[in-house]
Amino acid sequence: MICVSADKVHQIQRINYGVLFERQPNLLSGNENWIHTFKIPLPSKQTDGNFEQCNITHQHCYILNQVLSQLSAIRTQVSSDVNHTVEVIHQLIPHINIEDKSNSESRLKRGLFDFIGSISKSLFGTATTEDVNRLAKHVNILIRRNNEFAKDITHHDKLLSSYMSKTNKRFDNIIVGIKNNYEGIQNITKETAKFISQFEKISIKLSKFLLKQMNETAEINKYLEELKIAVHELVKGKLSPFLISPQNLKHTIQHIQSILNDKFKGFYLNNVNPSYYYSQANILYTRHHKNLFISIKFPITTFVNPLTLYKINSYPVPINTSSNHATQLLDLPQYLVITSDNRQYAELSDEFVKTCSGIDTLYCTQTFPLLSSVSPSCSFALLFNDKESVHSNCNFRFLTNIIQPAVKEITDTSLLVYKTKTLAFDCPSSHKIEKGCSFCIIHVPCLCSVKTDSLFIPAKIGLCNNNTNTVTIVHPVNLALIQHFFSSETYNSILGDTTFTDPADITLPNLHFYNHTFN
């Protein structure tokens, strides 16, 4: 068998058999997922607290009370914003009820099944019963562990799953800072009442507190806006980096792959790029009191490298220049996928490929059986230019009166031409009229439009890679017909992609067709 590397080639042509392989995005498949659950603390409702006023009859005390009023207004507004955000979150993500007051294993199991019943009504996302079970187990574990104990990724034994608590240090630190500001301002008020003479020093302190409070208020407002955006995205089924940062997600991906390498050898994450999970992740989420639980499904596969996917296009190949008869493969699959080592392959339908998602790489949740290259199919033999296997496995159909004048774009700079007398090329530097052909491939220079008696093909610029000024015409042959009528020594040098600068002069025996009309 002849093996030809197909990597990094946009298109592979086997035009002598009337077949073109068009490279598609790489493909990965697998119907198993590693489910990782994040426990994310949400902000709690805040209560208003007025600052103690200075009650001494003095000008300094009046000024101080004015500042305290501004600080109280800021504090009230912050509390209102926090409470509004909490209400929005509670409306969008309802609370689930969990009753499990015991830490014993027996109570844990009983509480788990109670929890599944309640979580099914408040769980959002595409979930199977198994998904709900796993999330339930993770939540039951996480609500019993403090953040410090479960802050690192923990593998759930015997399950393709893990969990961790994500502390919200940013919000917690700001709240602590505001609390400290409050206590500091209260102390200043007391100092003012005792030491009116030191008001200048106290005033400087108060100004610093006011500035700090305003900065922290701005930070809280920014955090609350990001949180509301993230929750709205979550409701739409999208994971937001405001909830789980790229750094945390990358860290999680690395640890999951590490667990797979250690305990589940031969399994790999389909995608290790955090950006994929922000745009296309399959997520489940629910809320228990002030904790948000998010389960992300990380697709796993048994393939180390993605599979190479080709779309197969079939065209009729004329038997000669004097008739309109042709041969063509009519039973080819729509897609062919091969492993990176070319040892296995599969033939896929358009319906199957449409179920996959992704842009640079297609991710398929359905699996398919792989065939060994030891037993090549027609499409596999065509891809690797194995003439003998093509002759043995491909069912070429003889089509009568099928060839009509036509021009087909097979690449951005190549045209497949049938029975066309002349072609006019309109280029920036010249105008050309070329003689047509009965069956040929024409390579068109960039920025040139093409016109025939019945067709107009506009110029290409962005995708064009033919930067010459020369129109190149090459001629294929009908290799299937040659293999049928001649010995292998005759066509030994001709492969599926061999073309000639001039039409090949091949004399075929007379073909007789039997026609019969059935009454």
Instruction: Give dist(CA 119, CA 135) in Å, integer.
Output: 9
**pLDDT of 446:** 85
Query: What confidence tier does 3 reach under pLDDT thresholds 50, 70, 90?
Result: very low
The stretch 160-179 carries a mean pLDDT of 62
The stretch 111-123 carries a mean pLDDT of 36
Give domain limits for the chain. Answer: 18-31+308-399, 32-298
Does the pTM exceed 0.75?
Answer: no
The stretch 150-170 carries a mean pLDDT of 59
pLDDT tops 70 at residue 25: yes
**pLDDT of 147:** 43
pLDDT tops 70 at residue 190: no
Alpha carbon 89 to its chain's center: 28
Higher pLDDT, 216 or 431: 431
Higher pLDDT, 98 or 292: 292
pLDDT tops 80 at residue 179: no
Alpha helices in 455-518 (DSSP H): 479-485
Q: How far is CA 493 from CA 203, 483, 498, 505, in A?
A: 96, 12, 8, 15
**HSE-CB of 160 using CA atoms within 13 angstroms:** 21
Query: What confidence tier does 9 reach under pLDDT thresholds 50, 70, 90?
Result: low
**Tokens in use for 440?**
């040929």
Whole-number mean pLDDT of the chain?
Answer: 79
What CATH number is given for 18-31+308-399 in this structure?
Answer: 2.40.490.10
Separation of first and last alpha carbons in the chain: 49
The stretch 80-90 carries a mean pLDDT of 89
pLDDT tops 60 at residue 110: no
pLDDT tops 70 at residue 124: no
Query: What confidence tier does 108 reach under pLDDT thresholds 50, 70, 90?
Result: very low
* Lowest mean per-residue pLDDT among 196-205, 298-307, 341-350, 498-507: 196-205
331 burial (CB, 10 Å; 0-12 / 13-18 / 19+) is exposed
Q: Tell me the per-residue pLDDT of 399-426, one tens digit each, with 9 for 90 and over.
A: 999 999 999 999 888 999 999 999 999 9
Higher pLDDT, 210 or 387: 387
The stretch 154-164 carries a mean pLDDT of 61
Length of the chain: 519
pLDDT tops 50 at residue 1: no
The SS3 of residue 349 is: coil
* Lowest mean per-residue pLDDT among 190-194, 215-219, 310-314, 340-344: 190-194
Instruction: Give dist(CA 421, CA 405) in Å, integer.
Output: 9
**pLDDT of 288:** 85
Query: What confidence tier does 116 reach under pLDDT thresholds 50, 70, 90?
Result: very low
**pLDDT of 117:** 34
Higher pLDDT, 148 or 34: 34
The SS3 of residue 485 is: helix
**pLDDT of 99:** 47
* Lowest mean per-residue pLDDT among 61-75, 257-271, 462-476: 61-75
pLDDT tops 60 at residue 105: no
